Amino acid sequence: MKKHSARVAPLSACNSPVLTLTKVEGEDRIRENVVGTTDTQSAGATTGAESGSNRRRLHCCIRVTTVQVRKALWGVAMVICVCSSWAGSTQLAKLTFKQFDAPFTLTWFATTWNCLFFPLYYIGHLCKSPERQTPRQRFRECCRFFGDDGLTPKVFFTKVAPFGLLWILTNYLYLQALRKINTTDVSALFCCNKAFVFLLSWIVLRDRFMGVRIVAAILAIAGIVMMTYADGFHSHSVIGITFVVASASMSALYKVLFKMVLGSAKFGEAALFLSIVGSANFVFISFVPVILYFTHVEYIGSLADIPWAYLCGVAGLLFAFNILVNFGIAITYPTLISLGIVLSVPVNAMVDLYTCEIHFNTVRLIAVFIICLGFLMLLLPEDWDQCIIQLSTKLRKRDEPAESSAEAGAATGLNWRGRARTSMSTFAH
């Protein structure tokens, strides 16, 4: 795992990969190999081995291009999988509430599945790593993420439990919003969490100020207001919009606080963290669904009436979504993973339109469009303006030789005409 280790931040089951906390070490090594090879190529060229250096250069270019093409192809598959798992879990949760109206119980059940993260990671460790460790050794090594003393009770209640509560609140508020409004509005409004992450990281983490991201945040806020106006400010829709905006805010707070308190984690450390969150949810939060059952807040007649297929489907899709979001950066670019989130909005819109659960008026369409536009603007890299300037400079340089060659051709044409006239006048004399 040392060769392909990366730095990741565990995200909520309802989160999109917004805050860039990843660093794949394999890419740096490939770049170092390319630089080292080009250095040897220049040395070989100076000694006269031009043919050998050209072959090496071609080999390196082909190697880098192959890696990029492979990551792009994996990215396309990742976009499809992320979009399908996120849209599928949202639609299936909406169907579940028609038979089993218990959002907190569904949240508790889906979060408990996080216990499987570390066991699955350890299976992958046994299959891929040349240095195989026992589960206890791997557990102790991953626990160093929490400090030199490992996972102590103090560390658990100060650095793990708060994030577990934010995780549960994010999912619970998202599911509550699904009970009030349609899935298209919920999925579109939740994309605003990227704008909230930027604002919080700008204030708390002192991240770089970017004008385009401020514009994107303004678009997200405008989209929220327009989405509320689309239904005429009815109490039912306002409550649902409030729930999903609060869920997006909890998601953003989770990410920024994780970056500030814990920093970033390797794959094994992230898997352990998520498994601890799931285990703590099962141990410490199990009494809440029981209380809600006996108080008839989330009541069902018998166990036979519980749609276990729907519950397991929602939990399984959210679990798959979390795997793709947290560990997908090992095979593709984080931006492509984020793209799968925003593509779930038109997918949910098509499903809602087919099931006749939504009326697409002009205001709603504009609101969804500007929220998605703001989300895509926040995916731009920090040096996007410099990239555009460099691209325009390269295009100008390509156009300049063509113009100069055209002018040179015109000049030579004039010269030939002058020479022809001179020769003709000489012959006449």
Confirm if 126 and 132 have CB atoms less than 8 A apart.
Answer: yes
Residue 24 phi, psi (nearest 5): -85, 120
More confident residue, 55 or 103: 103
Query: Which tokens belong to 294?
Result: 């006996």
Query: Which tokens belong to 130?
Result: 């040349």
- pLDDT band at 205, cuts 50/70/90? confident
Residue 191 in 3-state DSSP?
Answer: coil
Q: Give the angle 242-246-252 at the CA atoms, nearest 5°.
A: 150
- Give kind and range of the element (H or E) at residue 394: helix 384-428
- pLDDT band at 400, cuts 50/70/90? low
Beta bridge partners of 265: 8
Q: How high is the pLDDT of residue 403?
A: 53
Q: How high is the pLDDT of residue 405?
A: 54
Confirm if 114 and 343 have CB atoms less than 8 A apart.
Answer: no
Q: Specify the residue for token string 């793990």.
A: 160
* pLDDT tens string 154-199: 989 998 999 999 999 999 999 999 998 889 889 988 988 888 888 8
Residue 101 phi, psi (nearest 5): -85, 75
| Of residues 96, 89, 75, the one with CA closest to residue 14 | 89
Query: Which tokens belong to 395?
Result: 């295009």
DSSP 265: B
Q: Specify the residue for token string 């394999």.
A: 26
More confident residue, 51 or 110: 110
- Between CA 287 and CA 293 the distance in angstroms is 10
- Longest Cα–Cα distance in the chain: 121
- Between CA 201 and CA 252 the distance in angstroms is 9
Q: How high is the pLDDT of residue 414?
A: 40
C-alpha gyration radius of the chain? 28
| Of residues 53, 119, 83, 70, the one with CA closest to residue 279 | 119
Query: What's the mean pLDDT in 36-56?
Result: 48
Percent of the chain at pLDDT > 70 equals 75
Q: How high is the pLDDT of residue 117?
A: 94
Q: Specify the residue for token string 């992958």.
A: 124
Query: Which tokens belong to 157?
Result: 């209640």
Confirm if 204 and 108 have CB atoms less than 8 A apart.
Answer: no
Residue type present at position 104: F
Confirm if 172 and 14 have CB atoms less than 8 A apart.
Answer: no
The structural domains of the chain, with segments of one domain joined by +, span: 68-382
pLDDT higher than threshold 90 for residue 426: no
Residue 268 in 3-state DSSP?
Answer: helix
Q: How high is the pLDDT of residue 43?
A: 43
- Give kind and range of the element (H or E) at residue 133: none
Q: How high is the pLDDT of residue 29?
A: 40
Using the CB atoms, write b or e for 55-83: b if 16+ within 10 Å: ebbeebeeeeeeeeeebeebbeebbebbb
Helix-strand-coil split of the chain, %, nearest 5: 80, 0, 20
Query: What's the mean pLDDT in 294-298?
Result: 89
Residue type present at position 165: L
pLDDT higher than threshold 60 for residue 3: no
CA 164 to chain centroid, in Å, comes to 20
Query: What's the mean pLDDT in 22-46?
Result: 42
| Of residues 27, 8, 4, the one with CA closest to residue 17 | 8
| Of residues 313, 343, 306, 355, the one with CA closest to residue 88 | 313
For 160-169, 274-283, 297-306, 400-409, which range has the lowest pLDDT when averaged over its residues?
400-409
